[in-house]
Structure 1
Amino acid sequence: MTPWNLLVLDEALRGSWAADTCSPDDFARAGWQPANPAWGHCDITALIVHDIFGGDLMVGEVHHAGEQHGFHWWNRLPSGAELDLTHEQFQDGQTITEGCAVKRPPGPLPRRREEYLRLRERVVKRLGHLPEPAA
């Protein structure tokens, strides 16, 4: 297996994001554009990063114009460093609250399973084998 670096992982994820892996919440599919491919992909991207590195899943509230507009997900690696590969999706002045660590639910995902599996399959095609999802 060829060793990866973070740039290769980032490129594999970015090259795999599409409308059919975007979150359907808040009409995200209608808002997804190739010019902003990270839009609606934070949760399943964070899960794939968690599959590889472990650590904590982080979640914070998204606010815009004084109102909450959903949640944003990213990773805290076992070293304590936080990694957010989808933050650039927020291009309209949204702010994210301080995150809190969330445990990954055991077993199959209760929501967004199809999109997660589709994205994971595309990343595997670009990188080769990925570790099995962490429990």
Structure 2
Amino acid sequence: MARPYPFNESDQLELDPTYQELLRDEPVSRVMLPYGGEAWLAVRHADVRTVLSDPRFSRAAVVGRDMPRVRPELEDNVNSTMNMDPPDHTRPRKLLAGAFTTRRVEALRPRTAELTAQLLAGMRAAGTGADLVEHVSGTDSCAAAVVVTS
């Protein structure tokens, strides 16, 4: 039987204890997503690596299709690198990799710290109960695990 996913609507940085249970007892399991039905959830590092690298798990093949998903909107941008499979994904990834070398990331550290301080100041100004994800990332949700649609 598929369990409902996501497991909770936590506002904490702690993962739901269900992840630990699954990691121990059922690292690849069926889940019921809020939009579109059942899917497979992989929580073990080795299984997630397999899903991300095995061509049988195509992102491009499901673009625009009504597949099980966590969010209400469909993934329909064929040109997004998040929706590409190799070798199409490999080309832009190689181009971007140069921008994220250790030296480049270190050079960005002061500006990143400055921007983070500004965003956190805005969150503090919003008062008690302000949402960290909303104020720092500009979105109201984020994924905590890889979900593989069936």
TM over 0.5: no
TM range (shorter): under 0.3
Task: Give the structure with the larger helix fraction.
Answer: 2
Bigger CA radius of gyration? 2
**Structure having greater relative contact order (Cα 8 Å, sep ≥ 6):** 1
**Structure with a larger share of its residues in strand:** 1
